Structure 1
Amino acid sequence: MANTFSLILVLVTLFTGIIWALDKFVWVPRRQLKAAEVLQLESGEVSEEQVAQVAPQPSWIETSASVFPVIGLVLVLRSFIYEPFQIPSGSMMPTLLVGDFILVEKFAYGLKDPVFRHQLVETGEPERGDVVVFKYPPQPSIDFIKRVVGVPGDTVRYTEDKRLCIKKEGESTCEFVPVDNVHQSGFTQRGVNLIQAEEILGQEPHEILVNPYIPNQTGQYYPTPGLGEWVVPEGQYFVMGDNRDNSKDSRFWGFVPEENLVGKAVGIWISFEFDEQGDSFLPSWVPVGVRFDRIGGID
């Protein structure tokens, strides 16, 4: 769906751009010449009002030429600078909630063409702790958002007691990711209060959630059920959701190739609250409130 929209946007931009160029460099001079002939002006110079009276611009040409700058600006902004996304699930709680609308920095990990996604310019690489949007490898038409846990060369372990351990390339020991401020949170899952903790993967700490009553789902791990250890290949990344027991991520379907990266999530620009209990007379997709306190950067 995302690539389909990009393709439509590119085609509309090309169509309106061609019409704008033809009108400016071909059709406008022709209309001016026609108006000059009709008005029998030797100089050939006519005003816009005279041209409009004698040889009016067709409405479809006027509309196409008028919308081209706007459509072109939207294409550039959305494809190469920032693109808005909506958070559809709770896999990144408590960092991101359902109803959050985020901005994704498209140039963070390279500029790609909006249709075929070939890299045009290399600008940077994901770091541990980055929150990234990417094309879901088993179904690239779907966008996912997770946190980068392992970069190329890392050995990532997720232990039975739900601790992250990372052995960086060139190092001999696996270092546990620091965890602090462990406490019972206000977030619930199936009536159970989740445990919240502060974890430090990159430069800044972030919050994670763990369900103390759900055992590690090692039997579903990819590619080897029962083995919670992965070596990240070159050009790929290991990602996980902050809501560790409610996230289908690299543990279950594998790595994210570099070419699947869409961008880095950098901020929440608006956050809507929805009626999760079904008590409202409004449809479930209609927001019942705005969470202004959530607007800001993403850790």
Structure 2
Amino acid sequence: MAALLEGRVAIVTGAGRGIGRAHALELARHGAAVVVNDHGVTNAGEAAGDSPADEVVAEIEAAGGRAVANGADVADFAQAEAMVRQAVETFGGLDVLVNNAGFVRDRMLVNTSEEEWDAVIRVHLKGHFAPLRHAGAYWRTEAKEGRQRAARVVNTTSGAGLQGSVGQATYSAAKAGIAGLTLVAAQELGRYGVTVNAVAPVAKTRMTEGAFDTSAMALPEDNSPVVAWLASTDSGDVTGRVLEIDGSVLTVETGWAHGPARDAGARWRAADVGPAVRALLAQAPEPEPVYGS
């Protein structure tokens, strides 16, 4: 029986440690050639002086797989383009993009600095956009030239972005943006044979240690089989979805949806808004609690 990802080429960003490393190893185990991206920064996004990407590549090659290291800053537009080009030039194409890179700088909202906000939004949100933009352009060209690929994008959001998380306003905003980006990209790139989904992984990693009790949390590799399937040709009928993975529990996140509505028949009067909103809220389901509340 052929491996699930035999012959496919994948990029995994932030793949030197934690969840990204587990994804890279899992994709390689299923037959994919992998560009292992890691910019080599600390958990707070500061320069660490070294990148563990080479270690992951060596581990993949020792197991008989194919991989190459990449040290791009994924939020740098030109470096993201070069990363996509490296995959194509090294392995002959690109089929899968797993956007995973990120870091946290947790602060209560009123203590968050402008620099902290900009840094977290940049690496998570722009760091998803830039690789996706260049990979999408490549897949569009392939489709127009009669070489349409069964391409797959797996973005990384979080429960913090879907339900909110006290002390993580910046991170939550970035991860919510990634969920929105996933919906739009799925619609825009579908015509070129590309599916775009997102996962919300739950795992004990550098990013979660110290923030709360992680003793009962799943391991990073517990998330990766779902990513491997989403990266496969078998997942072609699934797009624009967010899947939360919490150990053995797999959940489809339903996201924002139109709820109860009332039509005033004319421009609303301010005095009528309060009673109408309260009546509508009485008909609507209670929102899920914010993490940490």
Q: Shorter chain as normaliser: what TM range?
A: under 0.3
TM-score (norm: length of structure 1): 0.22
Q: Which has more strand, going by share of residues? A: 1
Q: Which has more helix, going by share of residues? A: 2
